[in-house]
Amino acid sequence: MPELRKDPIVGRWVIISTERGRRPSDFGRTVAPKHAGFCPFCMGNELKTPPEVFAVRENGTLPDSPGWRVRVVSNKFPALQIEGDLNRKAEGIYDKMNGIGAHEVIIECPDHELELSQLSVEQINLVLTAYRARMIDLARDKRFRYIQVFKNHGEAAGASLEHSHTQLVATPIVPRRIQEELKGLEQHFEMKERCILCDILDQEMMIGKRVVVDNPDYLAIEPFAPRFPFETWIVPKAHNASFEQSYQGNYYSLARIMKETLTRIHLTLSSPPYNFVVHTAPCNEAQGARQFHWHLEIMPKLTRVAGFEWGTGFYINPTPPEDAASYLRDVAIPEVETAASKTLP
Amino acid sequence: MPELRKDPIVGRWVIISTERGRRPSDFGRTVAPKHAGFCPFCMGNELKTPPEVFAVRENGTLPDSPGWRVRVVSNKFPALQIEGDLNRKAEGIYDKMNGIGAHEVIIECPDHELELSQLSVEQINLVLTAYRARMIDLARDKRFRYIQVFKNHGEAAGASLEHSHTQLVATPIVPRRIQEELKGLEQHFEMKERCILCDILDQEMMIGKRVVVDNPDYLAIEPFAPRFPFETWIVPKAHNASFEQSYQGNYYSLARIMKETLTRIHLTLSSPPYNFVVHTAPCNEAQGARQFHWHLEIMPKLTRVAGFEWGTGFYINPTPPEDAASYLRDVAIPEVETAASKTLP
């Protein structure tokens, strides 16, 4: 019997369609092996990208030259433009404004061959530190209300370049999805005076069947009502509104659970395409930001979104999250280095 | 300069990204030619599908035998199951219920080779009549709150069988997307005592630049804030809440504008994959259904939805709707037969 499940934060219903029950090997969506050829993100090609806005570099190396470990540049084909005023306007009954914003690319490592899950915990920590640096810098611009960090891995997930990278878009509007989460968090808080994501963490740790990885600071879970098969969230155990404001020093613990979780997804599903998004509080004190509980949503792209989903906002998910969690827990992975064993150079 | 535009009904913002400006020939997403081979939807293979629940047939032919012109069967792999009770339940803080619903397939014609835009106006009218018959029948089941008619054309749009067909899912919940539209319609009505889609039609007919086809009863337009390049809506000029309740007799006028619009899309974009959805009022008097203004949303699938869209609910659309409308208007198409010249057999 298929099951209808409701996401407790945004109220979205999904259909867990057991009639179409799918095991990891049934999907057959794999990211193609990388091919050689010119790549603007490789070390040595720094002049083929827009100038860097941030980098972690070897001492003594110059901007836009080799010697970097993580490098952030403006997107060469930005969706939004950094210069100008918003200039809010009507067009009859319609509303519009200039497409002001920032669109940057975080190049995660110099090596073309590696993907994020294959980087060292130390290198992933540097990538996360770069997210943070750019988010804090961009939030100083009072035109921006939200900074969305997201990753497209594999062509089927929308990546146009294969060298491992994350993107960031700063928008002058708090996006709908974030507004919906804020509203859900607020409604729960009004009723219970507690955070719903904190309540979810408690229940998931107690039950255990949807837990993928549990470390001292974070929980990786399959959410109760996932839109996509093998959708996985990484949620900090402590209530923190903001990815970028809450951490002093480093992201080793997050880097470690990200490496383990992405490795489990990679091995269970034979290198699937995926997206991930960082959901953090809006910046510049937009609308009730403090009640937010930041988290990361990883969405493997194994099925196609079709007319039914576009028409209704319902999702059909052929893999119950309890099954997905069990597959992800059971896959054998190389031991993930402990953060403690590494120190920054 | 890119532009941010707000959908006036649901409040969704989209980025019209002029930096990435795309002409029809830039997309290169084409539905593969059909190949021969066994097809359960072809005439003569009626016993390879679940039993038919509706058909338009030649006089004297029996159910589940040849002689049909349009045929409706249950989906062999239904997302929801027809028998049972909803049995709403909690699982700790979560909500769930049995996946009760209907999932049917409308086989649009006996001929494997034809696609919807290639059918005669008369045949499209029969297809629409079949939608209506099934919607009216299923709405008698008091468990159902919504009936979503949708079409997936081409593999990239989620079609798994190439024989032209539409699907229908009856759900025990009013879907989010419909609730959002209802809310937008209600808000506008509270302020203005008018329907926002009626206001949109007035403005679009006055300005003209986003109009694709204008016939006495319907307008085909590129909406002001489209999620997808070449997204096209067909909207009845008269305010009618419901696709299935509002029409006596026939759908010739709708069939005619659908044929012309789909033909223009087909020729402009070289046979693109697409989805369409019928947005009609909820059934069984669920929530303010009378204020609805039914319409059809056609979404060519030319770009990939990636992390940014999943994270934010913002869409990036590389083709301004004014440009898309101009391409669609300008393409030369064979004259579409007038409904008046045809009579039913």
pLDDT digits (tens, 9 = 90+) for B149-164: 999 999 999 998 999 9
Q: Give the nearest chain A residue to B295 (CA atoms).
A: A311
How much is the pLDDT for B286? 56
Residue B341 has pLDDT above 70, yes or no: no
Reported as a pLDDT band with limits 50, 70 and 90, residue A37 is confident
Q: Does B187 touch chain A (CB under 8 A)?
A: no
Residue A288 has pLDDT above 70, yes or no: no
Reported as a pLDDT band with limits 50, 70 and 90, residue A11 is very high
Options B103, B153, B163, B165, the catalytic residue: B165
Phi-psi region of A313 (alpha: psi -120 to 50; beta: other; left: phi over 0): left
Going along chain A from its start, the domains and CATH numbers come out as: 3-337 (3.30.428.10)
Question: In percent, how much of chain A has pLDDT > 70?
Answer: 94
In this predicted model, what pLDDT tens digit does every residue of B37-67 receive, in sequence order?
899 999 999 999 999 999 999 999 999 999 9
Q: Give chain A's mean pLDDT.
A: 92
Residue B165 is a catalytic residue: yes
Residue A13 has pLDDT above 70, yes or no: yes
In this predicted model, what pLDDT tens digit does every residue of B165-190 receive, in sequence order?
999 999 999 999 999 999 999 999 99
**Do A79 and B207 make contact, defined as CB atoms within 8 angstroms?**
no
- What mean pLDDT do residues A125-136 have? 96
Write the CA distances from A124 to A67, A127, A167, A267, integer angstroms: 17, 5, 15, 19
**Do A306 and B171 make contact, defined as CB atoms within 8 angstroms?**
no
Residues of B in contact with A96 (CB under 8 A): 3-6
Q: How far is B2 from chain A (nearest CA, A)?
A: 5
Q: Give the nearest chain A residue to B282 (CA atoms).
A: A312
Residue A284 has pLDDT above 90, yes or no: no
* Integer Cα distance of A75 and A57 in angstroms: 20
In this predicted model, what pLDDT tens digit does every residue of A225-243 receive, in sequence order?
999 999 999 999 999 999 9
In this predicted model, what pLDDT tens digit does every residue of A171-199 receive, in sequence order?
999 999 999 999 999 999 999 999 999 99
Q: Give chain B's mean pLDDT.
A: 92
Strand order across the beta sheet in which B3-6 lies: A89-91, A94-98, B3-6, B13-16, B315-317
Question: Do the Cβ atoms of A275 and A262 come closer than 8 Å?
Answer: no
Across the interface, which of B157, B173, B304 has its CB nearest the CB of A306?
B157
Residue B326 has pLDDT above 60, yes or no: yes
Collect all residues with Cβ–Cβ distance below 8 Å to A146 and sequence separation of at least 6: A170, A171, A173, A174, A175, A178, A282, A283, A286, B312
Q: Does B197 touch chain A (CB under 8 A)?
A: no
- What mean pLDDT do residues A80-107 have? 95
SS (HEC) of B34-81: CCCCCCCCCCCCHHHCCCEEEEEECCCCCCCCCCEEEEEEECCCCCCE
Bigger pLDDT: A20 vs A50: A50
B136: buried, middle or exposed (CB in 10 Å: 19+, 13-18, 0-12)?
Answer: middle
* A64-68, A281-285, B152-156, B269-273: least confidently modelled range: A281-285
In this predicted model, what pLDDT tens digit does every residue of B204-237 receive, in sequence order?
999 999 999 999 999 999 999 999 999 999 999 9
Kindly list the catalytic residues of A: 165
Helix (H, G, I), strand (E, B) or coil at A96: strand
ipTM for the complex shown? 0.92
Residue B309 has pLDDT above 80, yes or no: yes
Reported as a pLDDT band with limits 50, 70 and 90, residue B344 is very low
**Residue (of A119, A296, A316) closest to A213 by Cα position:** A296
- What mean pLDDT do residues B99-110 have? 97
Across the interface, which of A167, A171, A312 has its CB nearest the CB of B178?
A312
Write the CA distances from A278 to A142, A234, A250, integer angstroms: 21, 10, 17
Q: Does B70 touch chain A (CB under 8 A)?
A: no
What are φ and ψ of residue B168, in 5° steps?
-145, 130
**Do B150 and A15 make contact, defined as CB atoms within 8 angstroms?**
no
How much is the pLDDT for B273? 97
- What mean pLDDT do residues B277-294 have? 82
Across the interface, which of B12, B93, B305 has its CB nearest the CB of A8?
B93
